[in-house]
């Protein structure tokens, strides 16, 4: 049964006509008031609409003190479990939100906050009106899940990615400028390879194999440096260690296979990996 129906304060006409969340939707809420039966919350993304969090939906088992879980003014990630569209009432749950849902929602909120900050700067810089900003965001959302994603994509891959968005050049330039402020985390995985060949053309063959593994795909880059016969350093740069290790393993197998086919000798030694930021 709906928990909020008998206790939720009467909503104004403006609230009754405003957009309601969908059942199953994950929302951000601010706890407004804690009672003996649960808590009233403000749905942050729905213009201050009130929702109700019943005590049975706060946590499993018997709850002695509700404020151990939720307190006034506290932010919470909740799941909408019932919506009475006629009465404009929303019931929420805290205990039904999975760890992955909570993490995903917080990432979404953080991205939206960053995007709003960037778009406000662009709006002021180019003297745009709210309608123009909305149109730009709609264009971006045709290609990306979040507005912030375009800024991050430019920071990772460069301004060429803006060509797929149909927006004025001055907007593209402004997005490029703001994207330059983003620090992209990246890692380096490094190895030293010792490669020898007794064939007359062995040196040239080794150079061809090593130059063939150098690449730059998106945010993953592979570089080869000649240390001194017979040693080469290979560095793979990527967004995280999982991607970097996969790319490095592919490089090692490619070099090993190429050298052994030419009856050469191959060995590899790992060096210390490191993590830093780009931008």
Q: What is the pLDDT of residues 57-88, one digit of tens each?
A: 999 988 889 999 999 999 999 999 999 988 88
Among 68-72, 145-149, 182-186, 204-208, which is the least confidently predicted range?
Answer: 182-186
Distances 104 to 27, 34, 61, 99 between C-alpha atoms, Å: 11, 26, 26, 9
Task: Report the percent of the chain where pLDDT is more than 70.
Answer: 91
- pLDDT of 81 reads 96
Specify the pLDDT at position 38: 94
Q: Which fold has domain 13-97?
A: OB fold (Dihydrolipoamide Acetyltransferase, E2P) (2.40.50)
Q: What is the DSSP string of 213-258?
A: H-EEETTEEEEEEEEETTEEEEEEEESSHHHHHHHHHHHHHHHHHH
The CATH homologous superfamily to which domain 100-179 belongs is Translation initiation factor 2; subunit 1; domain 2 (1.10.150.190)
Query: In the CATH hierarchy, which top-level class contains the domain 184-278?
Result: alpha beta
Question: Is 90 exceeded by the pLDDT of residue 116?
Answer: yes
Extents of the domains making up the chain: 13-97, 100-179, 184-278
pLDDT confidence band for 4 (50 / 70 / 90): very low
Quick check: 261 pLDDT over 50? yes
Q: Mean pLDDT over all residues of the chain?
A: 87
Q: What is the dihedral of CA 253, 256, 260, 261, to 10 degrees?
A: 50
* Per-residue confidence band for 12, with pLDDT thresholds at 50, 70 and 90: very low
Element (H, E) at 126: helix 99-126
Question: Is 70 in contact with 76 (CB distance < 8 Å)?
Answer: yes
Q: Are 78 and 69 in contact (CB under 8 A)?
A: no
**Confidence at residue 7, expressed as pLDDT on a 0 to 100 scale:** 39
* Collapsed DSSP state (helix, strand, coil) of residue 127: coil
Confidence of residue 277 (pLDDT cuts 50, 70, 90): low
């Amino acid at each position: 049964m709906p928990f909020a129906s008998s206790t939720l304060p009467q909503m104004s006409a403006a609230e009754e006509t405003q957009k309601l969340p969908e059942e199953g939707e994950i929302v951000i809420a601010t706890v407004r008031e804690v009672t003996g039966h649960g808590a009233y919350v403000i749905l942050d993304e729905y213009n201050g609409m009130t929702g109700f969090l019943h005590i049975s939906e706060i946590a499993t088992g018997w709850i002695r003190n509700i404020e151990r879980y939720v307190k006034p003014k506290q932010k919470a990630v909740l799941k909408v479990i019932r919506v009475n569209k006629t009465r404009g009432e929303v019931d929420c749950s805290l205990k039904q939100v999975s760890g992955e849902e909570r993490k995903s929602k917080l990432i979404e909120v953080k991205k939206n906050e960053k995007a709003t900050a960037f778009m406000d700067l662009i709006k002021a810089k180019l003297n745009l009106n709210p309608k123009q900003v909305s149109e730009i965001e709609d264009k971006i959302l045709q290609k990306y899940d979040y507005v912030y994603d375009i800024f991050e994509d430019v920071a990772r891959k460069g301004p060429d990615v803006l060509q797929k968005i149909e927006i004025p050049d001055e907007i593209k330039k402004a997005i490029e400028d703001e994207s330059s402020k983003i620090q992209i985390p990246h890692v380096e995985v490094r190895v030293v390879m010792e490669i020898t060949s007794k064939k007359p053309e062995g040196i040239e063959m080794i150079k061809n194999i090593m130059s063939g593994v150098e690449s730059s795909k998106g945010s993953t880059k592979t570089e080869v440096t000649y240390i001194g016969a017979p040693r080469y350093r290979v560095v793979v740069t990527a967004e995280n260690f999982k991607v970097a290790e996969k790319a490095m393993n592919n490089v090692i197998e490619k070099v090993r296979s190429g050298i052994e086919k030419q009856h050469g000798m191959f060995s590899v030694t790992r060096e210390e990996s490191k993590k830093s930021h780009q931008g």
